Chains A and B, each alone.
Chain A
Amino acid sequence: GAVVSQHPSRVICKSGTSVKIECRSLDFQATTMFWYRQFPKQSLMLMATSNEGSKATYEQGVEKDKFLINHASLTLSTLTVTSAHPEDSSFYICSARPDSGLNTEAFFGQGTRLTVV
């Protein structure tokens, strides 16, 4: 089946630094990818919709300048957490939707656990 690879799976960074998370669709092209964040003991909430070749669409309350999304190719979207703070520590997961065929379901990456110290 279709595979979405997310990297890294776990990262620890210092406050004030930036962290980049990659989301790759390994065997399909995806014009659209999605980024989610999970707060402790809560469900996964959509942060933004990433569109290849255009600007990402952010959900209300998500800071565009803090969570930079770049969808430079049909198989790769990146989320950069800029000037990270401890409150940014969370679990981030992406999903990608294949462009081709009648099947339009999305597939999820394995997630990235970010710890800011």
Chain B
Amino acid sequence: GQQVMQIPQYQHVQEGEDFTTYCNSSTTLSNIQWYKQRPGGHPVFLIQLVKSGEVKKQKRLTFQFGEAKKNSSLHITATQTTDVGTYFCASGGSYIPTFGRGTSLIVHP
């Protein structure tokens, strides 16, 4: 499958600071999806990106798909305590969809 490497594994921020997690692949991805998992909860689908250079926004969240479709990022502006959780990227292309290891966001009030 298309392996996706996700960094960082953990990120501590003060409330109000921005946060970014990155997914990278050595091969071209046909699409990438992002999920959020709250502590004790299950992954919840956030968005799917398909087009090269695509940028989508959901309130304070900005999702980008690289021009070469080999990387993607999720950026949160002015984090809030409700943003706490683990963010996973997943590639559904090629043969076997695979998940990144996830980035756990910890927001300190």
Contact = CB atoms under 8 A, between A and B. Distances in A.
Nearest to B31: A105
A111 B42 contact: yes
A44 interface: yes
B43 A105 contact: no
A95 B42 contact: no
Given A1-B48, A44-B43, A95-B92, A106 B100 contact: no
- Chain A residues touching B, range: 20 to 34
B45 A95 contact: no
Nearest to B99: A44
B96 A49 contact: yes
A105 B50 CA distance: 9
A35 B94 CA distance: 16
Contacts of B30: 103-105
Contact of A108 (B96, B97, B101, B102): B97
Contact of B43 (A34, A106, A111): A111
A58 interface: no
B27 to A, nearest CB: 14
Given A104-B30, A104-B94, A108-B35, 17 more contacts: A9-B42, A34-B96, A43-B100, A43-B101, A44-B43, A44-B90, A46-B1, A95-B92, A97-B92, A97-B97, A104-B93, A105-B30, A105-B48, A105-B50, A108-B90, A110-B44, A110-B45
Interface of A: 1, 9, 34, 36, 38, 42-44, 46, 49, 91, 93, 95, 97, 103-108, 110-111, 113
15 contacts: A1-B48, A42-B101, A44-B88, A44-B90, A46-B1, A46-B96, A46-B98, A49-B96, A91-B43, A104-B30, A105-B31, A105-B48, A108-B45, A110-B44, A113-B42
